[in-house]
């Protein structure tokens, strides 16, 4: 079995860049990668996965599935097989450690809740500070027996028997919805989730691909998802599409660096994930989009981004669920726009790997950008192309998206910029440095 490349760590700087150019295959989607491993482990038979994102977050999910009794094997770069358990997980010998992955731990909590086993869920310092009641509360209403540390990790699950529930999440969260639906597979009766605002729907799409009897009804911005348990999934092959959230860094780097043209292929084209593309176009971004092949039940696209004179806009708050992970890099784009960009509806950013709302504001201020924060909003007063001084150092707070956003800002600023650590970038985008180098970007230890 081939080895996974080692990762960089420590402080790094981005030097001011000349024109970026190149064509990249978009990195595998993290959300789909997590779900491919989890659903494969729940299914009957062998699931073959290609294009899996081999980030630390996803690898921790793979280890957890193996600890729960699934046969998990890496057969080559991005190629994995999962021999499923038919929903009969085994009690793990040690705590399931998800490192920094909120998606991994929350989805697996749901998948394991009704399996009848005991398990302990742990994570690193950052993950252990993040709220888990948003998942354990609905799971407990289904009958799951959890003990947590004041609603945070570590969380201990005792053997539980579940029943279906009718549930409306209090916050727009694909993780919460997915945890409840995965638990519903092993629950008695119907599980129904009502979403006032549609979130990314990979779980629904992939459950159907794995043979689940699931019904999804859309009503404008809302959706209702129903499934009746217990039911067993059937293994299938999964070709993971490209991640829109990770692709955003190269796209924005091209838009704000003079003379640039960058193309990304295989990017997932899902309406619940394309909010950033829509927003950048409204800001005046020159983006060419062409359709690509379907992958894992998802459409894909090829995106070409060229340097653009962006303008500030007000981003609709209702768009936040379709681009919640992209706000730090959108804020960087806004810094190089003419005029003011106002981004409301961002309360969820305060519950990410860090307080991502304040962290984004800090990284912009450090390089001379005028920015204001509200309780759930961010306002960036852009300086236009070439107008950002730079020279700042991003305090990443162990947040991978802040780290990558800080480096992209440095490329287009007059003095470059640095970040205090890059180790956590591997949690979501292990090929970030290689891809940036292919485009002509110079990143070096600082």
CA 272 to chain centre: 12
Burial class (CB in 10 A: 0-12, 13-18, 19+), 434: exposed
DSSP states along 121-156: EE--TTGGGS--HHHHHHHHHTT-EEEEETTEEEEE
d(CA 114, CA 110): 8
Residue with tokens 């106002």: 342
- Catalytic-role residue among 124, 325, 399, 431: 325
DSSP sequence for 181-197? HHHHTTSBEEEEEEESS
Using CA atoms, how far residue 429 sits from 72, 81, 235, in Å, is: 21, 21, 27
Alpha-carbon distances of 169 from 134, 135, 271, 362, 378, rounded to whole Å:
8, 9, 20, 31, 25
Torsions phi, psi for 132 (to 5 deg): -115, -10
- Whole-number Å distance between alpha carbons of 154 and 133: 12
Taking Cα atoms as reference points, which of 399, 392, 233 lies closest to residue 329? Answer: 399
What is the helix (H) or strand (E) element at residue 14, kind and residue range? strand 12-14
Rg (CA), the chain: 21
The DSSP result for 425-444, as a single string, is GGGT-TTHHHHHHHTT--EE
Which residues are bridge partners to 22 per DSSP?
Answer: 262
Alpha carbon of 363 to those of 45, 305, 357, 408: distances in Å? 47, 24, 10, 11
Give catalytic status of residue 325 as yes or no. Answer: yes
Strand runs labelled E in 355-424:
370-373, 378-383, 393-394, 417-419
Q: Catalytic residue positions? A: 325
């Amino acid at each position: 079995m081939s080895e996974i490349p080692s990762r960089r760590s420590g402080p790094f700087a981005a030097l001011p860049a000349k024109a970026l150019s190149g064509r990249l295959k978009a990195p595998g989607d993290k959300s789909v990668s997590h779900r491919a491993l989890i659903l494969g482990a729940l299914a009957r038979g062998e699931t073959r996965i290609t294009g899996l994102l081999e980030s630390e977050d996803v690898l921790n999910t793979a280890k957890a599935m193996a600890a729960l009794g699934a046969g998990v094997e890496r057969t080559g770069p991005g190629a994995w097989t999962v021999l499923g358990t038919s929903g009969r997980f085994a009690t793990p010998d040690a705590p399931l450690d998800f490192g920094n992955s909120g998606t991994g731990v929350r989805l697996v909590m749901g998948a394991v809740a009704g399996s009848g086993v005991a398990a302990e869920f742990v994570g690193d310092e950052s993950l252990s500070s993040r709220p888990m009641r948003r998942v354990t509360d609905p799971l407990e209403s289904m009958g799951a027996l959890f003990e947590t540390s004041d609603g945070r990790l570590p969380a201990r699950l005792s053997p539980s028997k579940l029943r279906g529930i009718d549930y409306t999440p209090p916050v727009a969260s694909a993780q919460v919805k997915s945890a409840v639906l995965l638990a519903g597979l092993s629950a008695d009766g119907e599980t129904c989730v009502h979403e006032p605002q549609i979130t990314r729907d990979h779980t629904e799409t992939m459950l159907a691909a794995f043979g689940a009897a699931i019904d999804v009804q859309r009503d404008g911005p809302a959706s209702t998802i129903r499934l009746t348990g217990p039911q067993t999934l059937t293994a299938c092959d999964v070709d993971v599409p490209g991640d829109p959230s990770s692709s955003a860094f190269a796209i924005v780097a091209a838009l704000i660096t003079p003379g640039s043209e960058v193309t990304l292929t295989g990017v997932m084209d899902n309406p619940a994930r394309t909010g950033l593309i829509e927003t950048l176009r409204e800001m005046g971004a020159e983006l060419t989009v062409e359709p690509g092949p379907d992958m894992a039940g998802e459409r894909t696209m090829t995106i070409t981004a060229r340097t653009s004179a962006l303008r500030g806009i007000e981003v609709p708050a209702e768009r936040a669920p379709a681009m919640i992970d992209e706000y730090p890099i959108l804020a960087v784009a806004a810094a190089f726009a003419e005029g003011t960009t106002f981004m409301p509806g961002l309360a969820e950013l305060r519950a990410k790997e860090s307080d991502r709302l304040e962290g984004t504001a800090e990284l912009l201020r450090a390089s001379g950008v005028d920015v204001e924060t509200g309780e759930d909003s961010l306002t960036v007063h852009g300086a236009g192309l070439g107008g950002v001084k730079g020279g700042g150092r991003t305090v990443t707070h162990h947040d991978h998206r802040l780290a990558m956003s800080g480096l992209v800002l440095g490329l287009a600023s007059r003095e470059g910029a640095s970040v205090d650590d890059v180790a956590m970038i591997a949690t979501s985008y292990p090929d970030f440095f290689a891809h940036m180098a292919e485009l002509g970007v110079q990143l070096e230890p600082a």
